């Protein structure tokens, strides 16, 4: 026993990184599995007492061997021959229950991970979730002892699921070597079970199947709920009661939209929290997994050149733009929620929160979310006159859904104001729409004019031409651009507005991972800063619910615009009202 304890101590010294990682996740493991925690506290207390006794025993024999003894054997042989008191041995219950704790190989292997995709035969699962899991697998971000499970109501076999998703799996350019072997290895770890969404027996079978491949005393589980909103609470309840592990943490991922308005979202959240703790819930919006969003905090808080300028003193306005050049291929889902609930509620408001928040005390997810919710709660109530709604008009000959309700907006623009000391009076203009002239996703930050600009005559007194601008672009061609004024080379004094350009495809010769890869890895790591907490959810709904109620109460029809056009004319009156020109036109 002593020998095994010494081996374990030496391994701890050799691997400080593993120990640090364990300490880092200790709070999450403890809070997400209180039953295991209580049992471990009692057993480890017993073990600690025993180890203390062993230390006393060692010290006693060290003292005894330093003094002369009446014996014909050398002192070293005396020590070896003498047996420790039986009362100092580890309790048999502890050895039996926690023998794996003292097994060096199991310590190196780490906990197993099971990931279950509920709704595995749906389009989102086939085209996004399974390919993202495969990319994490061949990139080495999933543990060796991982199991991928598909669950749905269809009666399929393991091989049926593997055939279904195999055609969607590809390797990025930097991982093309032996891609087929990696694919075969991944598919061999993929399993299928069928059952109803609220089926206790089906979820129990899922639990039993997971236990078959889980090895060791530590096992973690992730459940991705890729199901319709109306089925989500039934699935969550059934999972909570029948499929959670007691040997590690459990986390669930749910897709937007998170409710229909403030009241439904509140009820939805309350029901969800009756089965899971807040820290177990990851509300995912794939648009928040884009590199542009992750780069916001890096740009602000690691560059001294930007942070001092990040306030109303220097910034004139902020624009958050998201436009799709395609219409909706199927209006069934979109017709029920529209662009406000689908895009504005989570993606647009979360982008503003990350952009405008105060510096968090750390990069911990909870600290970042604390600052985001302060921004959302500070946003002024929306004036209906500051909101523009639009809907594209299409003919039956165009490859889009033409059956949208006459009240379903496919375009939304608004002017938001944040009533706090940093941003008082600065308009945040947001514009989101589908069926527009081009696909564009970017944030544009326009700075104030230079007071008493000495070169105003060179710009024909049009100070807008001389406006400095920071552009964070995701589509097309991810880039960071800074617009400055400079002199054109040559004789005379001619000025020009130029762009300092960091184009990612030129600077970094890498293929950017999909946003689902990014967010799934965050869930595995327990990093929740890009996922909405329930109080963020409520704050966002409090901003938009009055607008939604106004639309429904007064049957406000959106302004029509041509499919493939620039959007409704009202959007241009909006920027004129707030003295801001849409920078993407």
Q: What is the pLDDT of residue 472?
A: 95
pLDDT digits (tens, 9 = 90+) for 61-101: 444 444 433 333 333 333 333 333 433 344 433 333 333 33
Residue ranges of alpha helices (H) inside 189-227 are 200-213
> How is residue 286 annotated by DSSP?
G
Please report how the helices 158-166 and 179-188 are oriented relative to each other, as an axis angle in degrees rounded to 10.
150
> Could you give the strand order of the β-sheet that contains 479-487, starting from the edge strand earlier in sequence?
495-503, 479-487, 469-475, 440-447, 315-323, 427-433, 411-417, 387-393, 559-562
On the 0-12 / 13-18 / 19+ scale of CB atoms within 10 A, 6 is exposed
| Cα(412)–Cα(389) distance, integer angstroms | 5
Q: What is the pLDDT of residue 328?
A: 60
Residue ranges of alpha helices (H) inside 193-286 are 200-213, 229-242, 262-273
Strand partners, 498: 484
> Is residue 379 helix, strand or coil?
strand
> Is residue 389 helix, strand or coil?
strand
| Closest alpha carbon to 90 in 153, 23, 44, 149 | 44
Q: What is the pLDDT of residue 173?
A: 75
| Closest alpha carbon to 258 in 225, 280, 289, 290 | 225
Strands 427-433 and 315-323: parallel
From first CA to last CA, the distance across the chain in angstroms is 75
| Closest alpha carbon to 447 in 482, 498, 495 | 482
Q: What is the pLDDT of residue 460?
A: 65
| Cα(438)–Cα(454) distance, integer angstroms | 37
**What are the structure tokens assigned to 304, written together?**
């001294």
> How is residue 384 annotated by DSSP?
G
| Cα(186)–Cα(164) distance, integer angstroms | 14
| Cα(511)–Cα(128) distance, integer angstroms | 17
Asked if 298 and 554 count as a contact pair (C-beta separation under 8 A), the reply is: no
Query: Which residues belong to the active site?
Result: 347
Give DSSP secondary structure letters for 490-525: SSS--EEEEEEEEEHHHH--SPPPPHHHHHHHHHHH
Q: Which domains does the chain have, with CATH numbers?
A: 2-107 (no CATH), 110-255 (3.40.50.720), 288-450+527-577 (3.30.360.10)
Each of the 585 residues of the chain gets a pLDDT tens digit; together they read 434 444 444 444 444 444 334 334 444 444 454 444 444 444 444 444 544 544 554 444 444 444 433 333 333 333 333 333 433 344 433 333 333 333 444 445 678 999 999 999 999 999 999 999 999 999 999 988 899 999 999 999 999 999 999 999 999 877 778 889 999 999 999 999 999 888 889 999 999 999 998 976 789 999 999 999 889 999 999 999 999 999 999 999 999 888 889 999 999 999 999 999 999 999 999 999 999 999 999 999 999 999 999 999 999 999 999 999 876 655 545 556 789 998 999 999 999 999 999 999 999 999 999 999 999 999 999 988 899 999 998 765 565 555 567 788 999 999 999 999 999 999 999 999 999 999 999 999 999 988 877 777 776 656 666 789 999 999 888 999 999 888 888 888 887 788 888 888 888 878 888 999 999 999 999 999 999 999 999 999 999 999 999 988 988 889 999 999 999 999 999 988 998 887 665
Give DSSP secondary structure letters for 37-72: HHHHHHHHHHHHHHHHHHHHHHHHHHHHHTS--S-S
What dihedral do alpha carbons 82, 86, 87, 90 form, nearest 10°? 110
Q: What is the pLDDT of residue 319?
A: 96
Q: What is the pLDDT of residue 401?
A: 57
| Cα(11)–Cα(9) distance, integer angstroms | 5
User: What is the CA 557 to chain-centroid distance, rounded?
Assistant: 35
Q: Is the dihedral of CA 64, 66, 68, 69 positive or negative?
A: positive
User: What is the CA 520 to chain-centroid distance, rounded?
Assistant: 7
Give DSSP secondary structure letters for 138-162: HTT-S-TTEEEEEEESS---HHHHH
């Amino acid at each position: 026993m002593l020998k095994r304890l010494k081996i374990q101590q030496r391994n701890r010294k050799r691997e400080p990184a593993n120990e640090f990682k364990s300490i880092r996740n200790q709070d999450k493991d403890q809070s997400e599995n209180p039953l295991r925690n209580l049992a471990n506290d009692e057993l480890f207390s017993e073990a600690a007492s025993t180890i203390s006794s062993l230390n006393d025993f060692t010290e006693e024999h060290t003292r005894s061997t330093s003094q002369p003894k009446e014996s014909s054997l050398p002192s070293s042989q005396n020590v070896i021959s003498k047996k420790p008191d039986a009362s100092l041995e580890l309790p048999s219950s502890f050895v039996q229950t926690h023998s794996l704790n003292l097994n060096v190989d199991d310590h190196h292997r780490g906990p197993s991970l099971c990931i279950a995709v509920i709704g595995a035969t749906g389009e989102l699962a086939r085209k996004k979730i399974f390919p993202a899991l495969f990319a994490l697998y061949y990139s080495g971000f999933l543990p060796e002892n991982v199991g991928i499970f598909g669950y749905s109501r269809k009666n399929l076999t393991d091989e049926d699921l593997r055939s279904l998703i195999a055609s969607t799996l590809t390797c990025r350019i930097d991982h093309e070597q032996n891609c087929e072997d990696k694919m075969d290895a991944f598919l061999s770890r993929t399993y299928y079970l069928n059952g109803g969404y609220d089926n206790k027996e089906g979820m129990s079978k899922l639990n039993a199947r997971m236990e078959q491949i889980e090895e060791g005393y530590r096992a973690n589980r992730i459940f991705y709920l890729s199901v319709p909103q109306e089925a989500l609470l039934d699935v969550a309840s059934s999972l909570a009661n029948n499929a959670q592990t007691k040997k590690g943490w459990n986390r669930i991922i749910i897709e937007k939209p998170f409710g229909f308005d403030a009241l439904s979202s509140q009820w939805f959240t309350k029901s969800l929290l009756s089965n899971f703790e807040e820290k177990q819930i990851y509300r995912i919006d794939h648009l928040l997994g884009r590199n542009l969003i992750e780069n916001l905090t890096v740009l602000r808080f690691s560059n001294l050149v930007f942070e001092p300028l990040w306030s109303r003193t220097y910034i004139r306005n902020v624009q958050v733009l998201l436009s799709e050049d395609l219409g909706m291929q199927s209006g069934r889902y979109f017709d029920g929620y529209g662009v406000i609930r689908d895009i504005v509620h989570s993606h647009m408001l979360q982008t503003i929160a990350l952009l405008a928040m105060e510096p968090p005390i750390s990069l911990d997810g909870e600290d970042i979310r604390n600052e985001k919710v302060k921004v959302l709660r500070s946003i002024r109530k929306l004036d209906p006159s500051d909101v523009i709604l639009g809907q594209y008009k299409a003919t039956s000959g165009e490859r889009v859904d033409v059956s949208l309700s006459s009240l379903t907006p496919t375009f939304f623009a608004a002017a938001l104001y944040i009533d706090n000391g940093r941003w008082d009076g600065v308009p945040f203009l947001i514009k989101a729409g589908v069926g527009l002239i081009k696909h564009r996703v970017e944030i544009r930050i326009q700075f104030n004019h230079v007071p008493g600009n000495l070169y105003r005559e060179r710009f024909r007194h049009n100070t807008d031409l001389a406006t400095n601008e920071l552009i964070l672009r995701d589509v097309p061609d991810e880039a960071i651009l800074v617009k400055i004024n400079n002199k054109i080379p040559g004789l005379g004094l001619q000025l020009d507005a130029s762009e300092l350009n960091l184009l990612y495809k030129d600077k970094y010769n890498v293929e950017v991972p999909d946003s689902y890869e990014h967010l799934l890895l965050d869930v595995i790591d327990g990093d929740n800063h890009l996922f909405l907490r329930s109080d963020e959810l409520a704050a966002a709904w409090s901003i938009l619910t009055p607008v939604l109620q106004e639309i429904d109460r007064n049957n406000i029809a959106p302004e029509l615009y041509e499919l493939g056009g620039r959007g409704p004319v009202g959007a241009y009156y909006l920027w004129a009202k707030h003295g801001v020109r849409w920078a993407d036109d």
